Amino acid sequence: MLGILRALGTVVSAALRKPATVQYPTEKKQLPHRARGFPTLLWDFERDEPFCTGCQVCARYCPTDCMTVTMRDNPKYAEGKSPRRKIVDKFFIDYARCMRCDICVEVCNFDAIVMDNTWRSVELSRYDRQELVMDLDALLKPSRTGQLKDPFRDAMGVAHHGWAPRKAEEEKEKVAAAEE
Amino acid sequence: MIGNNPWLDGILRLLVVAVAVPLSVIVLNYLERKVIGRVQNRLGPMRVGPYGTLQSVADTIKLLTKEDVRPSTADQWSFELAPYVVVVPTIVALVTVPIMPDLFIRNLGLGLFFIVAVSTVPIVGFVMAGWGSDNRYALLGAMRSAAQLISYEVPLILAVVAVAMVAHTADGGRGTLNLTEIVDGQDKVPYIFWQSLAFFIFTVAGLAELYRHPFDIPVAESEVVGGPFVEYSGMRWAMFQLGEYVSLVLISLLGALVFLGGWNWPLVNELAERNAVAGTALQAVLMLGKTSFFILFFFLMRAAMPRLRVDQLMAFSWQVLLPLSFYQIIVNGLVVVYGWPDVVLGVLSGLGLLAGSALTYRAVRKPTMVRRPRPVAARQGSEVKV
Amino acid sequence: MAVQPPERELETLDLYINVGPQHPATHGVFRMVLTVDGEVVEDCDPVIGYMHRGNEKLPENCDYRQIIGYHDRTDYLAQFNTEWTYCLAVEKLMGLEVPERAEYIRVILGELNRIASHLMFMGAFGTDVGFFGTSFMYTFRERETIQDFFEAVTGERMMYNYFRPGGVAWDVPDDFEEHARYVLDRVRTAIDDIDGIMTENEVFLARCRGLSPVTPEQAINWGFSGPMLRATGVKHDLRRAEPYSIYDRFDFEIPVGTQGDVYDRYLVRLEEMRQSIRIVDQALRQMPKNGPIMASGLKRTIRVPPGEVYARTESPRGEYGVYIVSKGGDKPWRHKVRAASFCNLSALRNMVVGNYVADAIIILGSIDIVLCEVDR
């Protein structure tokens, strides 16, 4: 009977521990900084336009083929307000197809797309599947309204060919040159 | 006797039971889910009502309003009468169980005998349920449940009868089936100390009677899904669950009364001499505590034990429990005939318990069935047979 | 002269029991047609294919970074191990050298994933044997801790897509080491809990001891690998036999069973969890503080020189192998997955016939199959 008594002892000692339940939705777990929700586009507040130029690299690398991107000429470039020659015209992501693999973030040349790491991007129940196809406004909304406070945009090693690491390098060199 | 009128008295007592039984079932259902939840490191029901207390009420309402699905090929009489045959005898058995010194419906002189006789009737109900369902799995479950119940009924009865044989009566003799007298005879020492082997047999056989882990093969959820109850829905299924919880209460009460001293131990008589109200309060608390001990033990066993296979279950009953209960009866008989004191009873009973544990330990360490390897013929092609 | 009783006087019919695709006891959509005589199983016909998704054909249209997601979904309980096998295959073909820090990160994450997979086995196996969900809750509590750790590192709780040919995709956060040590502490509690309710439990022993014993010769003939093989007594572990990555730097033991029965398989997996904790502990101490996490000189699109390669690793289920044929270019010509569960499951009939129906479920549970691997 010793084994059964040991089992009962384990069970009783486990009962005295604090339960591990997090009572969703009244309490929500704290999402880590790198939590991978669905992709969203970033808004460039300095120049009042999206970072995205519509170059279609992300759409080409997407394994599930869930993005549709088109580009147009940027009127602000003609006015001299922005260095981007082209800007995104239409951008559709089908959240029902996206598998959140993070490849689009990795290959973007302009650091324009990130994975939304808030609860909002995970609680996506809809009654109709068509409502999960997000257009440009819906994709820019979290960044524009300031909900997306702290996306995960650290340098992603050599695999990341984005614009920001190059810029950061150039800044560092400029600062080092200025110090000399 | 209330109001000096036997009819009024009987009806009032029956009403009390009729109200208390469903109430206790609802409370027990909620408590079981909470206790098992805590054991599994989670919270249990929390949403319906404050801390989930109204969960059982919500479940009952749901079951009442559910559609009464009946298989078209089911045997009418068998299928429909089965829940009643299972539930009614269990509630009837509560007639003679005294909760407090004068809180019972009728104190029969043959109390234990009546309880034991009436609680064998549900076996027929389970077989009726399985047969009437016209379902292969239900039939399997019903056969297994009938086998299990019958084989564990015998050690249970023998264990309880063994205690009844040596229970001290009001007039100083030994041997009574009256539950109140059995409890009254335990004011110095509860019978668990003198009859530890019978207590062990009673607990194990009680687990099997209630379909609790480790003996719940008839209602095994991950194999024969649901057992004999698989075709029942709504209120009929709720009646089976009601029967299960009422038997749980019955066995716990019986154990508390017969083995743990009921309301009479410890220190009750001394307190009652000083202060009658405090004495009654202590009796109530003791009774509640002892019954809860059994109930909690049954809940914990459900959480901590896997399931025995049918042949292992039967082997355990017939090869271990039954000889031990015979041994207990022989010992008790000798003590009654030769007038030996209770201590001899306690020592011999304890020795029997040790021997039983050693037997079980040995039986478990080696496999019960030698699996002779059968030659498996090579297959020609692979046709899927349905 | 003894009188022989006649063989089968009563005319009995064999019953066909369909342990169907939807059943609480089969781990995924798997169908078993059992021919049953009373309670004894006479014949067993497993039917697979309900989860076939084209895991070998579809990658022929994907470039080498997109295929990592497929491997995540092949064995969804040990994703890091499968991603690792695939990355080893591509690295062998391209001749890449993975930097030190990336290797240590891979080892830590892979071993923690092994622990998570074995915890899932303990939970599901306990439910098969008859625990009312207790084993499930204990193990899943700590699986949650491990998954939270993975979420802090990669961002996802299940389909990580984190390893790349040549290293890992991005660096680990700053509190990696203390978070990992916290996870190890919690995992030790879970293993002790499971040990307490299952290992010595007499009822558990009565169910699992001596059930379908397998000899080493039978195991090798039937193509077993992983804990199934080690439970029979064969001391074969790919991390020792053909050390890949940096496994030759760690000091760990290989648990072996004696009879190859269901109880031995459970014990081997329990002990493997403890050895994995040892490995993670050593790796955390030896890991370099800084360094590159990706091989240098790689472009955004990997082009693999022509050739073929077969790489195999020790996944929690056994030997997981990836065979790639490349004809140059950025997409493979042929991509084949050798799944451990498929080979282990093919011996089901031999193990089940002659046992009871209730035991058939337990034997199936003890093989620890993942249907996505079996069907791909």
pLDDT digits (tens, 9 = 90+) for B3-21: 677 788 878 878 887 888 8
Residue A164 is predicted with a pLDDT of 47
The residues pairing with C320 across neighbouring beta strands, listed in sequence order, are C313
The count of other CB atoms within 10 Å of the CB of residue C244 is 16
Domain assignment present for A46: yes
Between residues A169 and A59, the one the model is more confident about: A59
Tokens of C2: 């003894």
* Residue numbers in C near B311 (CB within 8 A): 39, 356
Taking a C-beta distance cutoff of 8 angstroms, is the pair C11, B380 a contact? Answer: no
**What is the rounded distance in angstroms from the CA atom of residue C293 to the CA atom of residue C312?**
22
In this complex, is the C-beta atom of A25 within 8 Å of any C-beta atom belonging to chain B?
Answer: no
* Residue numbers in C near A36 (CB within 8 A): 154-156
- pLDDT category, B382, cuts 50, 70, 90? very low
Residue B277 is predicted with a pLDDT of 77
In this complex, is the C-beta atom of A64 within 8 Å of any C-beta atom belonging to chain B?
Answer: no
CB atoms C170 and A61 under 8 Å: no
Residue A167 is predicted with a pLDDT of 58
For residue A106, what is the domain's CATH number?
3.30.70.3270
**What is the rounded distance in angstroms from the CA atom of residue B215 to the CA atom of residue B217?**
6
Mean pLDDT lowest among A105-119, A157-171, C224-238: A157-171
Domain boundaries, chain C: 55-375
Residue B386 is predicted with a pLDDT of 37
In this complex, how many residue pairs, one in chain B and one in chain C, have their CB atoms less than 8 Å apart? Answer: 113
Tokens of A167: 């810029």
Q: Of the candidates B35, C136, B42, B302, which has an alpha carbon nearest to the alpha carbon of residue A17?
A: B42
* Residue numbers in A near B304 (CB within 8 A): 4, 7-8, 10-11
Domain assignment present for A157: no
Distance of alpha carbon B378 from the chain centroid: 49
Residue B385 is predicted with a pLDDT of 42
Range of the domain at A104: 37-145
Out of B180-194, B352-366, C193-207, give the one with best mean pLDDT: C193-207
Residue C9 is predicted with a pLDDT of 56
User: Could you tell me what percent of chain B has a pLDDT over 70?
Assistant: 89
**How many residues make up chain B in this entry?**
386
Distance of residue B329 Cα from the nearest chain A Cα, in angstroms: 23
**How many residues make up chain A in this entry?**
180
Q: Which residue has the tokens 């979420």?
A: C151
| Total domain count, chain A | 1
Residue B214 is predicted with a pLDDT of 81
**What is the rounded distance in angstroms from the CA atom of residue A49 to the CA atom of residue A71?**
13
pLDDT digits (tens, 9 = 90+) for B231-279: 787 788 888 888 888 999 999 988 888 888 877 777 777 777 777 777 7
Residue B230 is predicted with a pLDDT of 76
**Which residue from A minimizes the CA distance to B296?**
A12
Q: Of the candidates B154, B99, B77, B98, which has an alpha carbon nearest to the alpha carbon of residue B123?
A: B154
How far CA B79 is from CA of A180, B72, B128, C113, in Å, comes to 95, 11, 7, 51
Rounded mean pLDDT of chain B? 81
In this complex, is the C-beta atom of C209 within 8 Å of any C-beta atom belonging to chain B?
Answer: yes
ipTM: 0.82
DSSP A85-137: SEEEEEEEEETTT-----HHHHH-SSS-EEE--SGGGT----SSGGGGEE-HH
Element (H, E) at C46: strand C40-47
CATH (residue range C55-375)? 1.10.645.10
pTM (2 decimals)? 0.87
* Residue numbers in C near A10 (CB within 8 A): 192-193, 196-197
Taking a C-beta distance cutoff of 8 angstroms, is the pair B325, B205 a contact? Answer: no
Q: Which residue has the tokens 């045997």?
A: B75
Taking a C-beta distance cutoff of 8 angstroms, is the pair A159, A106 a contact? Answer: yes
For chain B positions 69-98, those within 8 Å of chain C (CB to CB) are none
Between residues C307 and B107, the one the model is more confident about: C307
Residue stretches of chain C with pLDDT short of 70: 1-13, 22-26
How far CA A21 is from CA of B36, C134, C144, in Å, comes to 14, 15, 11
- pLDDT category, B376, cuts 50, 70, 90? low
CB atoms B304 and A10 under 8 Å: yes
Domain assignment present for A32: no
pLDDT digits (tens, 9 = 90+) for B64-106: 888 877 888 877 888 888 888 988 998 888 878 888 776 777 7
Domain boundaries, chain B: 66-365
Conformation bin of residue C63: beta by default, left when phi > 0, alpha when psi is -120 to 50: beta
CB atoms C62 and A20 under 8 Å: no
Distance of residue A103 Cα from the nearest chain C Cα, in angstroms: 8
What separation, in Å, do the N-terminal and C-terminal C-alpha atoms of chain C show?
59
**What is the rounded distance in angstroms from the CA atom of residue B321 to the CA atom of residue B215?**
14
Q: What is the DSSP letter of B321?
A: I
In this complex, is the C-beta atom of C186 within 8 Å of any C-beta atom belonging to chain B?
Answer: no
Taking a C-beta distance cutoff of 8 angstroms, is the pair B179, B97 a contact? Answer: yes
In this complex, is the C-beta atom of A12 within 8 Å of any C-beta atom belonging to chain C?
Answer: no
The single-letter code of the amino acid at A46 is: E
Pick B300's closest partner by Cβ from A2, A11, A19.
A11
